[in-house]
Structure 1
């Protein structure tokens, strides 16, 4: 790449369906700031290509031969400075997606999502601002989490300030940093600072874990919009 130009987001697409991989490649490489550096049709190959190409973001299917996406995700994320992994899913894979999030995946995307969401998810993942589909988040967490009624912030969130609680509530709704900034009438950099402090205070890895915690403690109601 010529000197002075920003580095492109490097993406690895892991899916056992050739048409899916090809479609994602065509969509992503039409963008000036994204390049697909490798493809993989098994979990084992995803691990190998991740080591060979050092992608920034991996789009990881769950159901693949040899080694599934869950096991591949776990192995890849054990390495120092791993890429960000976004799980590819369908509505009939709730159990797998929930396990993938606990394995360390940064988010999940429907395979039939519009191209604009795919591009947005890759860009968000590359900056640490995972794009989480609110409807899928609620569907998953309402099934697997066990929130208890609460009249105020649960004890697990006692270290957070009122503004940090506001940010966490919006994170739980699936909003991006930019959307939270607009909702709270603050700068996006301010939101990023709040998110970083929330993760540090709660001792969690990423905003996906923050969503899970918000639902598990009952802080985010099940009918949250």
Structure 2
């Protein structure tokens, strides 16, 4: 599995590279850090050269920060899978990471979570550190108050709707959800559209946040 690490601290980059390759060297599919960089622009340059399975991306960097780099990467390469690996827990960063479609958000201090997160993310799932999951329930609070949303909406959901929200929150696309729920992709598209309207949510990102607030274990 090919990985790119982007961080403006060379010691952090080298440490991440060493840990990833040392821990997985005996795996059937060992992880290989194929390139490293120091700025968001490096991420944009290196990605098409190496076509990595995963991009580990810092947030605060010179020239171009990680959020802007991630947004551009996913726009140009929709299949890009980004894990933010950072020291910052500010709500604005986490929300932006969710909005642009990042697959993970972990703290640099939580190295134990890094290796187990890589394979699920490479398969399209989302992985967030415990500190991030703990903050997610607050993100929709103000919106829900303004719209008068309540627990009644959650209770009114059908089993199929609950399952659909679960798979969206896990990062599956419509085709993958269709396979899980044994429906056509068109049916899932229609269900999703109706569900967003029912809950007065804008998009899949808000639906995923709704899951973590109201239904996540």
Give the TM-score normalised by the residue count of structure 1: 0.70
Task: Choose which of 123, 138, 159 in structure 2 pairs with 1:127.
Answer: 123
Q: 1: CA distance between counterparts of 2:8 and 2:188? A: 34
What is the aligned partner in structure 1 of residue 33 from structure 2?
Answer: 36
What is the aligned partner in structure 2 of residue 10 from structure 1?
Answer: 2
Q: Tell me the SS of whatever aligns to 1:22.
A: helix
What is the aligned partner in structure 2 of residue 84 from structure 1?
Answer: 81
Residue 206 of structure 2 corresponds to residue 212 of structure 1: yes
Q: How far has the Cα of 1:137 moved from its partner?
A: 2.4
Structure having the larger proportion of residues in helix: 2
Q: 2: CA distance between counterparts of 1:55 and 1:190? A: 25
RMSD value, Cα: 3.6
Task: Choose which of 125, 128, 140 in structure 1 pairs with 2:136.
Answer: 140
Gap regions ≥5 residues in structure 2: 197-202
Deviation string, structure 1 residues 90-124 (Cα, Å, up to 9, x no partner)? 35332112112211211211111133x11111111
Q: 2: CA distance between counterparts of 1:120 and 1:93? A: 24
In the alignment, is the contact (CA less than 8 A) between 1:138 and 1:222 conserved in 2? no
Equivalent residues, number: 193
